[in-house]
Structure formats: C-alpha cells, structure tokens
Structure 1
Amino acid sequence: MSQLLRTTRVLAWFILTGLSVAIILASSFYLYLRPNLPPVEQLLDVRLQTPLRVYSRDNRLIAEFGEKRRAPITIEQIPTIQLQAFLAAEDARFYTHYGVDIKGLVRAAVELVTTGSIQSGGSTITMQVAKNYFLSRDRTFIRKFNEILLALQIERELDKERILELYLNKIYLGNRAYGIAAAAQVYYDKPVTELDLAQMAMLAGLPKAPSAYNPLANPERALIRRNWILGRMKELGYITADAWSLAKDAPLTASYNTREMEVDADYVAEMARSEMVRRFGEEAYTEGYSVFLTVGGEKQQAATDALRAGLENYDRRHGFRGPIGQLDIDGMSEEDLSGKIQSYPKVEDLIPAVVTSIDDEKGIARLHLRNLGAGTMPMATMSWASRYRTERFTGPKPEKPSDVVSPGDVVYVKASLSGQPDAKQPVSDEPQPEDDNSSQKKSQTIQASLAQIPRVEGALISLEAQTGAIEALSGGYSFSQSKYNRATQASRQPGSTFKPFLYLSALENGRTPATIYNDAPIVFEDSELETAWRPQNSSGQFYGPTTLRKGLYRSRNLVSIRLLRDLGIQTTLQYLEQLKLPTANMPANLSLSLGSGLLTPMELARGFAVIANGGYDVQPYLIERIEASTGEVVYQAPETKLCDSPCTADTGKPDETRERTETPETIDGMTLPASNADGQPTTPRIMERLADERSVYIMHSMMKDVVRRGTGRRALALNRDDIAGKTGTTNEQKDTWFAGFNHNLATTVWVGFDQPAPLGRSEYGATTALPIWVDYMKTALKDRPSAHMPRPNGIVNIRINPETGERARPGEEGLFELFKQEDAPDPLKARDNGHQGTNADDDLSRQIF
C-alpha cells in the first residue's frame, strides 16, 4: 500500500511538473508572440479587396478592374440555410466554442488516421478569420499558435455574427471569387438569396480546397464533397430527410459566369482606369471604388456600333483580302475542327470559322464556327467580296461561293440564327447552357455572313457643348486589337474641318459672310520646295469671285488661302490661341488655311464645342463622380459656369479686376480640375467667353449651309433644322473628317489609317466620316428638341447682291445675309463691279488676284 502511495505521488509530481512546464512554455510563447499580434480592432476597419467598377451616367456597368471578384454582403442578407451549410462543412460547434474547438481538433485527427483525409478540418471559422485577415499561409507551428491566440482574442472582442460575416466576405472560393456573394454570381449567375439547397452546399464545400472541390475543374470530387455536406446538414438537424434526398440527387448546375458588361466602351473604361490610378495609385484596384462617368449608356453603345459599322462599310468597298488562315481538313472530325479553330481569336462580334465544303449550285459555303458548330454562308453575304488589289482597285465581282473561299479557308464571319421564329437573332460564340428553349434553338441553324477585320481605323468623340462632359467616345475598331486611343492620342491633319476657325477669325476681324474672294488659280514659289505649290479645289475646277459663305459651304480651297493671306498668318495663329486650340503643330504658312496642322479628334471636337455653345471655353471631362466602397462620394465633378468676362469662382459672375485664369492641367485633352486633399474640387469649372457671340452666331448660320447646301448634305437624313458642321479631307484622302453640332452637342468623327496612307478614290469626309456621324447622332439626338443658338443683339439682316457682296438696289435680285451691325455694307457706297464686302478698296487686288 505504501508502494502504491509512493507511485501515485511520483505520478502526480510528474503530471504536475508536466503541466507546469506546459503552462510555462505556453506562457512563454504567449508573452513572446503577443506583442506582435495585430489588434482585433483592425477587423472593424478592414477594407476587403474589392475591384474597381466603372459605370455610365445611367448606372450601366462598363468595366471591372481588379484581380479579386468580391461583392461585400451583410449577415442579414444571407439565408439561414446557407449559413448552416458553411457551419456543417467548416465548424458545426461555432456557436458553442470560444475560438478553438478541442473536439473538432480531435475529430479531424481521428478522420486523418481512419480515412487518410480530413473532411471537416480542425480549424474553426474564427481561426480561419484570423488566418485570412492577419496571417500568412505558412505551414508552421508558430503561425498556428498565432492563429489560436488571435482566434481567442477575436472571440473576446467580437460577437459571433460579426465573425461569421467577416469570414463569408473574405473566404476564397475559386475562380477569382472572394466571398459568398461573388461566388454565387461566378458559379450560378444568381444572388445568394436565389440559390437552391444543392447549390448552397456546393459553395460551402469550396473553402477547404477551392481547386480540388471546384465544380468546374473537378465535378466528380465536387459532387462527393457536396453530398457529404448535405449529409452533415441532415445529421445536425439543419435539413429534413426529404430535403436531403432531393438535394443529393440534384445535378451539377455550376457554370462559369462573368458579370456581363452592359455597355461596350473599352476605350472609355481605359481612360477612367488610368485616371483612377493617377489619383489613388494601386489601391484603385482593391478599395472598391465605383466610378460614374459622363457618358450615357445608350449614346456610348451607339458610338461604338456606328464607328465599327462605318469602318466595316469602308473596308467592304475596297474588297476581300482573303482568308486569315488555312487548315488541312481532310479526315477531320467535328471535334478536331472545334479544337483547331480555337487558336483563332474572336474579335468583337466577328467569329472565326473554317470552310468545310462549297456548293456552287446551291450558292452556299458550309462552315464550322468556333464554339457554335456547323453553319452555312449564302452567296448573298459574299457578294461584296471582290478581291482586294489596292485601295483604288479591286478584282471582278464574285458570282459564286468558290470565287471567294475554298475548303479549309479560315475566315471571319458574323453569325445569326436562321429558321423559325427569329431568323436574324445574333449569336455569340460563347458556349451557352441548355435552357427551356434549347429544343427550339436546335430546330434553327446558324447562318453566317462573310466579314473581315478592317485595316482602316477611326475615332468618334461627342461633347456636351455647354459643360464639356464627354457624352460618348470610341478610339478605334477594337480595343482588344489595339489599345491606342485615336480619339485622344492620334494627331492628324484636320483638312477642311479647320476652315471654320479661319472663317471665325475673319468674322472677328471685320470680314462678313458677303466678303468676296476670288476662287482662281494661284501659284506659290518657294526656294525650299523642289516644285511650286499649286493648290486646287477637290473638284479640280475654279469658280471665280465667291462670298465667304459660299466658300465655306462649298469648301473652296483657293478662297481659304486668299483669306488667310489677307488676315495674316500670325493674326490667325493668335486667334487660335485665343480659342485655346493648340498651335505647336500648326505651320506658319498659307497651307495652314487647308488644315495642314495637327490636331487630335478630342482637340478638334473641343474647338467645335466652343463654336456650338456660343463661344465659351470648353474643358472636356469624363468622370462625374467617384464613390468609395461605403457609398461615400469622394469626388464630384465641379459645376460648370458660363461667363462673358473673367468671373469669380464662387459666383460665376463677371469680375473685371480678376486676371484671366490659366488653362487647367489636362491629360489626353481632358481637364483635371484642382482638388483638395479629399479629392473634392476647390472651385467651379469656369467657362469664359473666347469669341464674340455675334461672330459665332453668324458662323452657325454659315455652317448650317454646309449641311443644307454643301458638302455635308448627308446630315439632312436626320430631318433636323438645327444641325451645322463641316467635312474635311486632306491631300490624297489620307485623313477624312466630319465635325457637326447643334447648340448642345458637338461630335467629331475621323477615319484614316494609323500609318497615314491614301484611303482610295471617292473616299472623302462626306463618304467615310459623315455616315458614321449620322448613324451616331440618330441616337444621340433622338427625342431631343431642336437646339439653336439664341440670336444676340447687334445682328442685322440685309438684302445683298450675291455677285458683289454689297446691298442690293431696289428691284434688284438679291438674298438676305447676316451682318454684325458695325460691319453692314454702307448703303451710300458706290458699288463697283466685283467689289468686296469690306471697305478697303486697296484690298481688292489681293482678294481678286
């Protein structure tokens, strides 16, 4: 008995010593690690890495930037059964333990020994929160001990609901989806509240191993994991046996879903992304900012579509350049064709397809389209495809499919469904899940039309003239093909679209629409040139004495040259600077009158917006406001104020004592307003008057004649009386333009090759750029009333003789013309034949000769 007592005492001392050593070691670890542990309060201020989202003015999603897809959600927004699915999978005793579950650790160890794998895991949800928010994923004992200490600390300071909410928003669930809301969208394209029980269990199975149990990558393992979780939910009393039976037999319905972009505006999105990074650095991608732009969704989509259609139409006029590739299709199965065609990328709505056979008798080519399978291409969709030779010449018109394509050719096509009920329904080449209408779709066939990626490029920029807000912008045919934004970066010769600025300078310097200049040949000798310069009109003809009004709407080059010589080159350049048009790339010679300087489409559009709004400055901008992830507005575009003389920033009213403000900093033609430390603008955006409103009003009248009677007549298709504009074509048709406006909206379109080259015969601003402009403006001006510039005081209407520019005599045929009051023709002046509307007799020889 004494021996047993001694043995008991020894064991007790051993146990006590072991416990003491364990306590000392644990205390030492705690004292060593505790100072380096982060405070739990940081969890309350944690900023989940949420992507940058870009929206149109009407809240349509344009783009999303960031590596992590996340949509933070509150615990109240998550169905109870979904919470129970995660508890069954990860931590069934979550509401009873204090951060560390001893039973769970023991159960995990038993599962590891008996099955060779761990189904439920040993870490609690609280421990996972500690790891995900504060710690690395290193598999070390130190990290695990830190995790336990943090979990205990978190449990002391946060309630269970808050811990569970943090977990469900942070956990990684595969396919770049972080948090349950993002995962529900990625795998099922649904909000969390619309998932069924089987889908909820599937998501709950992902935290343990997002790759191994991913329903897209490993559907068999994912199904096993899902059904195990459903079984646990039944054991724990979360679901009934009937619900378990139905859910475990449910098929896998997961598919990869990305959030659909609602507006096709990649160039605009990139401009917004660049500006956000400039403002916020790399945090722009992770802090959950929402950027709301000035572009409207419908207008922006119309701009994108109009530019693409116009470039495609030009490209078709110049012939088919042949297939983009060739496949040896002998002996290939449908599966083989599907694999081979995947190496050719889809470009916008152009889908690669391989020609499998040709039936000239039926007039069709049979195809295999990427991700769509078999289809047919009728001859009617290939009739445009004369073989390309040069931009000026094409081969003969094809008469049968074999004149265009051959078996094995890889070509781009546009696809639609043929048959009943919707024969022209567009088709995407993205794989689509079966739905209730799948049998109906199978009864339809894919009909394709031949297409090709245009080599020509273009740009469209549309500005709200009164504020400078960018209404729509497209910088090229395809952002995926070229990220070069031609709307803001391409400096090109504006050609005749420059002439309105020259003519406005003339109106500001005493000339009138009735001033006569001679449209006659002229030769300039220059020792620096190998040959003399002999400028001509685009028609090659000359028309004699011409009023400035007619010279503008007929786009007479010789009139513009003589006008510039009369005004003086330096006077004109100074006036351009007054209008805030960049002159660094403007030549100081007479070729300036024909638009030989360099301007970007944005710069030209801004200049026309100045004319459109009545002569006020325009500072283009794109970002309307920026919201933080909390919904707080961290930036709001400043209010725009128009002012007829230098204004105070607080009232926008004239302040004659204040000096004219300096031009604000700009990037790519967009204004970057001054802002305080919080990103809020410090002053309104002040638009000061740059041009006499009477001169601008007369210019509106002259440019409306360009549309009614001149080179812009195609714009009459809009059936509006408020449209003014100007076409432009440079030498050899290398650049073609149309810039048009009403009082509220100014839009400019450019078409040309990135490396300047002739567009071909019969290609002018009126045939390439103007149709794109009209196509866009049909949408932009839809349901909007006419917007004319109000007539200012100091304008008079006088009947003139159009041959002389002087007042018409009583009984003499004439037409009414607009004049500034001080520039009106003198009624008492003797009218010599051929005299001009100015009063300087000695200027006549310069204008006539």
Structure 2
Amino acid sequence: MRKYLLITVGIAILIPVAFLGYLIYSFEYETQKLIKYQPRLTTEVYDRNGNKIANLFSDEHRYYVSYENIPPRLIEALLAIEDTTFFEHSGVNPDAVMRAIIKDVSAGKLKEGASTITQQLVKNTLLTREKKFSRKFKEVLYSIRIEQELTKEQILERYFNEIYLGHGYYGIKTAADGYFRKPLKELSLKEMAMLVGLPKAPNFYSPTKNYELSLGRANRVIGRMFDLGWIDQATYEKATQERPKVYNDTLSKNSGPYIIDEVMRQLGDAFPDIRSGGYKIYTTIDMRLQEAGYKALQSGRDEILKRAQEAGDLDENMQRQLNGALISLNPHTGEVLAMVGGYDYSLSPYNRVTQAKRQPGSAFKPFLYQVALDSGMSPSSLVPDIARTYTYAGNDGEEKTWQPKNYKNEYKGMVTIRDALTHSRNLATINMVSDMGFGKITEGLRRFGITENLPPDLSIALGTISISPMDLAKYYTMFASGGAMTNPMLIREVITPTGENIKYQNKSRQVDTPQQIYLMTSILKDVVSHGTGTNARVAGIEIAGKTGTTNDNVDAWFAGYSPTVETIVWFGHDNNTPMRRSETGGRAAAPVFRYYYEDMLRIYPNTKRYFDVPAGVYVGSGNDGNNSESYTDTSAVPDATQEEAPKTDEKLVF
C-alpha cells in the first residue's frame, strides 16, 4: 500500500512540475518569434527612374519601418485609442483586467478583452483569436514575458509592422502606401487616425469597403486625443472635418508582368527568398517606354487583324494565335528599356522576347554582309543576283536540287552589296555566300560571337537560324553600338534589407571596328530610306534597320536602331502557322517600330538624332548618283575583333 501511495505522491508532484516545464519551454519557444522578429517582407521592383513596377510577396504584403521612422503623432494616435498607459504597465493593465473579469463572469463567457498593445501583438502573432480562458491565460503570460525581453520601443515597432490593417495590408507603412499612396511622414492626422483605428475590425473599418465607417472610427480616435489633451481645439476641428482620398489599388501593383517574370527567373537562384526577403530591385526598364512599346505592339496587331478582316480572311484561329514581341535597349550598355513579351499577359504569360525561338529571315542578312565587308569587299562591290540551281544530298542519300527565288521573282544580274541588302535580294545573298565559301562565312559569324543553331548549309543566307528576339537584339548591338556586342541587361542593382547594395555589371566585347560597322549602318539607313523598311521611317531622326520575312510568312521582323536606342519587333502565330501572304516584316513589324519611336521622341525630345561618322570613313556619291556611298580607309583601322569594350559609367541619354 505504501508503495502505491509513494507512486501517487510522485505523480502528483511530477504533473505540476511537468506542466511548469512545459510552460517555460513554450514561453521560450513561442515568444522567440517576437523576440527575434523576422517578418515576411515584400520585395519591391522599380524601373530606372524609381517608378514602382511591382510588389513581390507570398502570403503577406508588408513593408518594414523602424521605430525611428514612425511619426510621434502616429504613436500618440495609437496609444490614445488602444492603450494610454502603455509606457507604465508591464504588459498587462491590472485595472482593465479586473474590469474585464467582472464583466466576463457576469456574462458567463469571455466578452471584454482589456488587451494592451502588447497583448494584441501576442494574440495576432503567437496565438489564435478564439475566445477561451486558456488562450487568454497564455496571452497574459506571453505578454509579461515579452515585456521582460523587449523595450517598449521594440514592442511598438513590432506592432506597427505586424498588425493587419485590411485590404491585404500588413503593417502601417504598407497601409499608408496602399490606402493613401503616401510615406508615413506625409500622413495627415486624419489619415493616421484612420490607420490606427483599423486593427479593431480591419475589414469592417477598411476605407475601401466602408469609407464613412472608417471616417467615424477615425474621428473617435481624434476625439480621444483631444480628451487626453494631446491635441488642441483647432487641430481637432480641422482633422475631424478632413475627408482623405483613398485608393483601391491591387496589392501587386504589377504594371510589367513580363518584366517581373524575367526578373524572378534571373534572380531566383541567387535570392530564393525573393518573395519574402524585402529586397529592393532596380531594373533598367523605363516604364514610359514600356507603355509606348505595349501600345505600339497592340496597334500593330490591330492593324494586321483589320487587314485580314477587310480581305475576308479573319478567323478565330488567327485572332487567338496572332501575337508579337518588342524589345528595346541601349545598345551601348545593353540596358533593356522596354520588353513586351506579348499583347496580353492575362491570356498568355509566355514571354516571346526571351522564350520564343523563331527564324529571323532576312533580318539576319546584315551579319552575312558584314563578314563580306570585313573580308575586303565594299558596299559598292558587285554580287550576282541570278538564279542558280544547287544540288545536295538528301537524308536518304539521293541527290536533290534547290532553286531559291527572290521575293518578287525579279533578277537584276550584277548588283552592289548595298542594293542587294537594301532591297533584300535573296539570290544575291545566297550567291555571295556560295562564292565566298560557307566555311568563311561561318568563321566570320563565330568571330562576332554568333555560334548557336547555325544551319550547316546555304540556307543560312535566308536566315534559317532559330533565335529569340532577345538574342537577335544582342547580336544587333554590334551594329547599333559601333562594333561592340553586348548582352542585354535587365537588372541594375539589388538592395538587401540590411542595406547591402549589389550592383550588376555588364561586359561588351568589341567584335569589329567602328569604321567597318559604319559601312553596314550606312546600308541599313538606305533600307529604311528607300528599301524594304520604309514603313519604319521616323521624321527628324536617322534610323537604320532591316526587315525579315520567313517562308510562307510565318515570321515578320523589323530590327533597327537610332544613334542611341535599338529595337526588335516580331510578329507571328504562336503555333507557327503562316500569316497572310501580305504580312511581311516591312508591312507588319516596321510600322510598330515607327509608332514606338514617334512615342519615344515625344517622351524624350532631346534624343540624339544623327549617327556619328567614325574617323577613317569617307562618304561620297553612290554608283547611281543618288545614294551616298561609304568607304573605309582600312589602313587606318586597327584589328579590334577581340578587344574588350571600354567600361563606362555614362548614363543613357535618349
């Protein structure tokens, strides 16, 4: 019997000891979330001018604010309505607790809260909102523990950053930006009162849902401040009469979804917590040009569909499949200014700028002709624009023939390189590649850095390489920058929550000399002035560029540049079916280029208008007596095919 008695006594002693141990453990474990506070923070993405592009967050949209940056008046407003003795108590207000207990006992259930700011913080962060005595008991104990570990200022800082304020906004800074589009320091007293009045019932008092109720709650806050003597009569009257403007914004504020997807793709590995780490990401994008690019692409698509409708060819498949892409960049730095991956992200998040691999057609020809110019030919050198039959071995080993044609089945005999490229003569290009030798052409392309997906035959002359608009933009930087090929660059810098500034650098490789490249620029200017790209002409600025149309009009391109900005435009069907026969690069894509540049000149009227002519290039009369002809004094041109481009901190000047 004595044995069982000892066991019973032992159990009786162990149970409270174990319970006490559990409480101590739970205190230490649970309260660490507030003591070592690390909330999920929203990452903000900006354009080159500091304009917000989007917010990135997972579950909770929250901007962080330190205690030092919280306006004192905002703290007063909170204390006035929630906890006037906050700086005197130790986490729990005994007088308020006794009043609440009396009411709760009378009601037979938890009815009166009597929560201090510390208790509210504990309840919202560490506990559930259920009304049970056990939860309330924990709340009191946890609050006392928090007050032992944190200063009053630290508790307020956590409260202001953690509290939910309706509309998906967590934290006071987030709500100020969302509801009023203001930083905390610019809030009026009425706006502050509206915010601190929200925690009691954030959805009920949300100013985007119940504006008048929100104003009424705010006036009670202001009235309480007046009763406490914290504001004077004039301040009280002015604040209560104010009716602030409230914005009903989307949480993400994503004005560039294709851009954001690419930012996430590029930074995802380096910053796995990109949606919760509270980073500030500064991109190279100019949102004014991004909007111009979107409008231009939309206009081009509308015109294509309009022409199809007028011809009686418009069908549902065309409307569903027709899409386009536009990328614009500073070719000297590689900084991407606009990237429109499609005409409607909500219908298709597929980014055609970076993900679509299409054939560029004649838009690839300038690279072939640049190899010819670098080999000793000049823009006035003659090439045969005549029909030839080429034989080759098919996959089955049988001999087959290939009889390529010009677009309009015209044959001009011997033509200059300038004329062949200006009017995009297929046969002249094929014959030139054949006469120079396929190996010499591919060797020249590889010297430029063009190595991927090169076809192993003469079809390269027709641009049968598979390439994305982004990669074509990269290749065209060698023309637009004067010989330096530069990778497109989307991200300038990332600032971490600790203030670390991670800057992204871009390198260029000089693949040709400015003098040799200017020969090509002079030809591509002719393409726009009186060749296949006349629809890309823009009044008051020099444009150089090339159209591209693939077999059966599957793809339509225009790749062009001004002295400071390069832009690639593509149109086609997502399922690779042909467009209408009349939809060429010159008709479908070039007008979009023009529309975009006209808008760009309105936005940036001081854009540089004319190309510089490098030293060593001489301009004279062309063979036809009308066109200008450019020649390079090759003896004065150094070999720069492997030089590193000079680094520059110069900002883009449009």
TM range (shorter): 0.7 to 0.9
Q: Which of 197, 201, 207 is equivalent to 2:199?
A: 207
How many angstroms apart in 1 are the aligned matches of 2:187 and 2:82? 19
1:167 and 2:168 aligned: no
| Equivalence map 1:407-422=2 (5 Å) | none
Residues 245-644 of structure 1 correspond to what in structure 2 (within 5 A)? 256-258=248-250, 261=253, 264-281=255-272, 283-319=273-309, 386=310, 389-391=312-314, 455-525=321-391, 528=394, 532-584=401-453, 586-630=454-498, 632-638=499-505, 640=506
Assess, with a 3 A threshold, how the Cα gap between structure 1 residues 814 and 602 changes in structure 2: closer, same or farther: closer
Offset at residue 73 of structure 1 (A) = 3.3
Aligned mate of 1:783, from 606, 628, 651 = 606
Counterparts of 1:115 and 1:247 in 2: how far apart (Å)?
Answer: 38
Paired residues of 2:482 and 2:517 also in contact (CA < 8 A): yes
How high is the sequence identity, in percent, across the aligned residues? 35
State whether residues 796 and 818 of structure 1, in contact with CA within 8 Å, keep that contact through their aligned partners in structure 2. yes
Deviations 1:569-592, CA, capped at 9 Å, x for gaps = 2332233222222432x3212221
- Distance in 1 between the 2:265 and 2:419 partners? 45
CA contact (8 A) 1:577 1:583 kept: no
**For the structure 1 residues 189 and 116, does the alpha-carbon distance in structure 2 shift closer, same or farther, using more than 3 Å as the test?**
farther
Q: Distance in 2 between matches of 1:79 and 1:252?
A: 18
Structure 1 residues 507, 391: CA separation in 2 closer, same or farther (over 3 Å shift)? farther
Contact 1:202–1:225 (Cα < 8 Å) also in 2 = yes
Which stretch of structure 1 is more off in the superposition, 749-758 or 597-606?
A: 749-758
Q: Which residue of 1 aligns with 2:642?
A: none
Q: Is the 8 A contact 2:35 2:150 kept in 1?
A: no
Instruction: Give how far 1:464 is off.
Output: 1.6
Separation of aligned partners in 2, 1:252 and 1:547: 70
The Cα of 1:249 is off from its aligned counterpart by: 9.4
How far does residue 759 in structure 1 lie from its aligned partner after superposition?
2.4
Q: Is 1:57 equivalent to 2:48 in the alignment?
A: yes
CA distance in 2, matches of 1:168, 1:636: 31
- Looking at structure 2, the residues matched to 246 and 694 of structure 1 have their Cα atoms a distance apart, in angstroms, of 70
Distance 1:536 1:294, change over 3 A: same
Per the alignment, residue 98 of structure 2 pairs with 106
* Residue 745 (structure 1) aligned with residue 565 (structure 2): yes
Look up the equivalent residue of 2:580 and give its one-letter code.
G
Compute the TM-score of the two structures, normalised by the length of structure 1.
0.64
Instruction: State the alpha-carbon separation in 1 of the partners of residues 65 and 176 from structure 2.
Output: 12
Equivalent residues of 1:38, 1:134 under 8 A apart: no
Displacement of 1:527 in angstroms is: 5.9
Choose the corresponding residue for 2:118, options 126, 131, 153.
126
CA distance in structure 1 between the aligned counterparts of 2:363 and 2:537, rounded to whole angstroms: 18
1:181 to 173, 195, 210: 173
* Structure 1 pair 298–558 and aligned structure 2 pair: CA distance change class (3 A): same
The superposition leaves residues 591-612 of structure 1 with CA deviations (integer Å, 9 ceiling, x where unpaired) of 2101122111111111110122
Hey, what does 1:765 align to over in structure 2?
585
Post-superposition CA distance 1:150-172 (Å, at most 9, x none): 43343234332332232122111
1:486 partner SS: coil
- CA deviations 1:805-840 (Å, max 9, x no partner) are xxxxxxx999855255479xxxxxxxxxxxxxxxxx
Contact kept? 1:265, 1:304, Cα under 8 Å = no
Matched with 2:530 is 709
After superposition, what is the alpha-carbon deviation per residue over 1:235-264, rounded to whole angstroms, capped at 9, x for unaligned? 655568998899889989866334795x94
Q: Could you tell me whether the CA contact under 8 Å between 2:207 and 2:214 is conserved in 1?
A: yes
- Give the secondary structure class of the aligned counterpart of 1:284: coil
What is the CA–CA distance in structure 2 between the aligned matches of 1:719 and 1:231, rounded to whole Å? 63
RMSD between aligned alpha carbons? 4.1
Alignment deviations for residues 674-716 of structure 1 (CA, whole Å, 9 cap, x no partner): xxxxxxxxxxx3x232234443232222222212331122333
Aligned partners of 2:54 and 2:252 also within 8 Å: no
Offset of residue 294 of structure 1: 0.9
Provide the secondary structure at the position in 2 that maps to 1:167: helix
Judging by fraction of residues, say which structure has more helix.
Answer: 2
Unaligned runs of 5+ in 2: 1-12, 637-654
Q: Could you tell me how far 1:562 is from its partner in structure 2?
A: 0.3
Distance in 1 between the 2:576 and 2:280 partners? 39
> Do the aligned residues in 2 keep the contact of 1:712 with 1:766 (CA within 8 Å)?
yes
Instruction: Report 1:217-228 matches (<5 A).
Output: none
1:718 maps onto 2:531 in alignment: no
Asked whether the equivalents of residues 177 and 183 of structure 1 are also in contact (C-alpha less than 8 Å), the reply is yes
Other-structure match for 2:644: none
- Tell me the SS of whatever aligns to 1:164: helix
What secondary structure is seen at the aligned counterpart in 1 of 2:537? helix
Q: Give 1:818's match in structure 2, choosing from 618, 628, 631.
A: 631
* Inter-partner Cα distance in structure 2 for 1:312 and 1:774: 15
Q: CA deviation at 1:466?
A: 1.7
In the superposition, relative to structure 1, how do residues 509 and 257 fare at CA in structure 2: closer, same or farther (>3 Å)? closer
Q: Secondary structure at the match of 1:489?
A: coil
Whose RCO is larger (CA < 8 A, sep 6+)?
A: 2
Q: Secondary structure at the match of 1:565?
A: helix
Amino acid at match of 1:818: Y
Deviation at 1:149, TM superposition (A): 4.1
The CA deviation at 1:519 is 1.3
The residue identity in structure 2 corresponding to 1:615 is G
Q: Secondary structure at the match of 1:555?
A: coil
How many residues align? The count is 617
Shift of 1:750: 0.7
Q: Distance in 1 between matches of 2:247 and 2:332?
A: 47
Answer with 535-544 or 694-703: which moved more: 694-703
User: Paired residue for 2:646?
Assistant: none
Structure-2 change in CA distance of 1:291 and 1:550 (3 Å) = same
Is the deviation greater in 761-770 or in 772-781? 772-781
Alignment-mate amino acid for residue 478 of structure 2? V
Paired residue secondary structure (1:278): coil
Cα offset, 1:43, TM superposition = 5.5
Q: In structure 2, how many angstroms separate the alpha carbons of the residues matched to 1:772 and 1:624?
A: 28
State the Cα distance separating 1:271 from its structure 2 match: 1.0
Mind listing any 5+ residue stretches in structure 1 that lack a counterpart?
1-22, 320-385, 394-451, 641-684, 803-811, 824-849
Secondary structure of 1:577's counterpart equals helix
SS at match of 2:44: strand
Contact 1:491–1:600 (Cα < 8 Å) also in 2: yes
- The structure-2 alpha-carbon separation of the partners of 1:796 and 1:258, relative to structure 1 and needing over 3 Å to count, comes to closer
Moved more, 43-52 or 495-504: 43-52
Q: How far does the alpha carbon of each residue in 1:621-670 deviate from its partner, in whole angstroms, 9 at most, with x for none?
A: 1100011235x2431012x5xxxxxxxxxxxxxxxxxxxxxxxxxxxxxx
Change (3 A) 1:96 1:28: farther
Deviations 1:754-783 (A, max 9, x none): 112332243221111111112222344531
Cα distance in 1 between the residues matched to 2:33 and 2:61: 22
Aligned with 1:280: secondary structure? coil
8 Å CA contact 1:91, 1:120 repeated in 2: no
Following superposition, the deviation at residue 29 of structure 1 comes to 5.5
Residue in structure 2 matching 1:735, options 555, 558, 561? 555
CA distance in 1, matches of 2:404, 2:494: 51
Q: Distance in 2 between matches of 1:303 and 1:249?
A: 45
Change (3 A) 1:295 1:184: closer
Taking the aligned partners of 1:788 and 1:507, their CA distance within structure 2 comes to: 20
Q: How far did residue 60 of structure 1 move?
A: 0.7
Mapped to 2, the partners of 1:252 and 1:513 lie a distance apart of 67
